[in-house]
A and B are shown apart, each in its own frame.
Chain A
Amino acid sequence: MAKYLLLKHYRGGPKPHPNAVSLMDDWTPEEISEHIAFMGRVADELRERGEFVDAQALAFEGEFVRYGGEGRAPVTDGPFAETKDVIAGWMIIDVDSKERAYEAAAHLSSAPGKDGKPLHEWIEVRPFLTHPPVVE
């Protein structure tokens, strides 16, 4: 088994599919509810399969923060203009293979968007680092 992070982006990543171009505030309230409900169902399915580890959604707004030096306040930057990559949330899954991780990501990417059509949005898939094997 290996753990994977499935990252959902508000913005950023490769060129979006036509279905994923419109912003969520152009959708109807029902379309937004259906999209969120779909995410919940995906998490439930992963739970039922014994593959679910965690899921979290992030606020759109956020800032970059860094150390400002001894005795100084933290330095902040942002929020950023349209071009920047913005993470919307993640799921963490524990699955048997990379193929299965990709299948789960593709399923997540099929979430309904405007007019109830599958979004085809890009999901970033990142494997977790693990423990080294015991047998040297």
Chain B
Amino acid sequence: MFDAHLLRDLTPQVLGVLVRRGADFAAAEDAVQDALVEAVRRWDAAAPDDPKGWLVTVAWRRFLDARRSASARAMREVHVHREPAPGPAEQADDTLLLLSRCCHPALTPASAIALTLRAVGGLTTSQIARAFLVPESTMAQRISRAKRTLAGERFERPGDVRAVLRVLYLMFDQGFMSAAVADERGGTDLAAEAIRLARQLVASVPDDPEAAGLLALMLLHHARRDARTDAAGDLVPLADQDRSRWDTAMIAEGVAVLQGALAHDRLGEYQAQAAIAALHDDAACAEETDWPQILEWYDELVRLDPAHPVVALNRAVAVGHVDGPLAGLRLVEALDPALPRRDAVAAYLHERAGNAAEAARLYARAARSAPSSAEMGHLLRQAARLNRARSGSD
């Protein structure tokens, strides 16, 4: 019987084999698509014993046919094709090769994410388009432009793992849409997809602690997803979340992956961020959060990337909990006034310092520059709550 999931899992592996054998990326993808169509037609009765081998054979033949006819058309001369180098089709290497190709630094993050979802994630263009709320034709153009950008680059060896980590992180961070909403729109759960890809990456670079750190970071945040919005769809900040709705099995897995990464003793930003997430996940209630340890990890993050303004802003919150809100505020005041969410952090610290009027004013100002409607609603409610409490006490 024909198995759509099996085909989806095999697609990037087959594509990886073709690319490793030296096939041009766009042509390889066409050939794999042809092979998939063939598979859907032929496997209806029974799937072959080695479906991956079957697909590789068919796709490679299609690729050679296409290249022969293309070159015959173009120059009417005989091409001698090098046969692929012998050796086993190492799936892990192929995944890394394909991922680093799709996340090539020459691509913009948006193009890299789209191409990765298509070529490695095995999603259709239409699914990716729905995930990003753009017309399918626009997404098709974005993907084909990305392929054109990569045309001519040689990809015999995997590229930079850092670039892959960055793209997967960005993909994950756009995955706010709940699985239910994604399903409803016939789209894609980007966060779950990023986790799936991060797992594949970790399998191909088991000795890279930052790859494991990123996977841990994703799991430790994803575990809180159900608690991040209430029944009305409003944003619930970490401190107010119903922690019984956190996914404890996923947290346990994230912690285990993080411990494995930290054991390499080669710290990086993803491991440090995962450690902070783990400490939040570890607290039974907001009051039990181990802020001194969180602050230590923020100090590590600052050491790793001293110029990162978002790290400095988040660190100010930790300082506010450890050394008092006024100490946190002094740090915030030294930061660029244009920094996103700076007013929201200042408002939070002012409220903790007992300055309700200033906190309300800053929450309202933060709402005006909020980048998302969920945050805008949350910040307006905070301002309204404080204003109401003040007018009640007057």
A contact set with B: CB distance below 8 Å: 1, 3, 47-54, 94, 96, 127, 129-136
Contacts and interface: CB of A to CB of B under 8 A. Distances in A.
Contacts of A47: 137-138, 141
B67 interface: no
A135 B234 CA distance: 17
B145 A129 contact: no
Contacts of B180: none
Given A53-B134, A96-B109, A134-B174, A129 B142 contact: no
Nearest to A133: B173
Contacts of B169: 135
B374 A131 contact: yes
Contact of A134 (B111, B134, B141, B175): B175
A130 B235 CA distance: 13
In the complex, the 6 A-B pairs of residues with the closest C-beta atoms, listed nearest first: A50-B142, A131-B176, A1-B110, A50-B141, A129-B373, A132-B372
28 contacts: A1-B110, A47-B137, A47-B138, A47-B141, A49-B145, A50-B111, A50-B139, A50-B141, A50-B142, A50-B145, A52-B135, A52-B138, A53-B133, A53-B134, A94-B110, A96-B109, A129-B370, A129-B373, A129-B376, A131-B177, A131-B372, A132-B176, A133-B176, A134-B176, A135-B172, A136-B221, A136-B224, A136-B280
Contacts of A132: 176, 235, 371-372, 374-375
Contact of B221 (A49, A51, A134): A134
Q: Which of B134, B141, B217, B228 has the most CB of A within 10 A?
A: B134
- The main secondary structure of chain A at its interface with chain B is loop
Contacts of A54: 135
Interface string B134-157: 110111011101000000000000
Interface residues of B, number: 41
B37 to A, nearest CB: 25
B293 interface: no
Contacts of B225: 134
A134 B139 contact: no
Interface of B is mostly: helix
Contacts of A96: 108-110
B176 A51 contact: no
B391 to A, nearest CB: 29
Interface string B238-257: 10000000000000000000
Q: Which of A1, A132, A133, A134 has the most CB of B within 10 A?
A: A134
B184 to A, nearest CB: 15
Contacts of B141: 47-50
Contacts of A3: 133
B191 interface: yes
A1 B135 CA distance: 14
A134 B173 contact: yes
A50 B224 CA distance: 33
A129 to B, nearest CB: 4
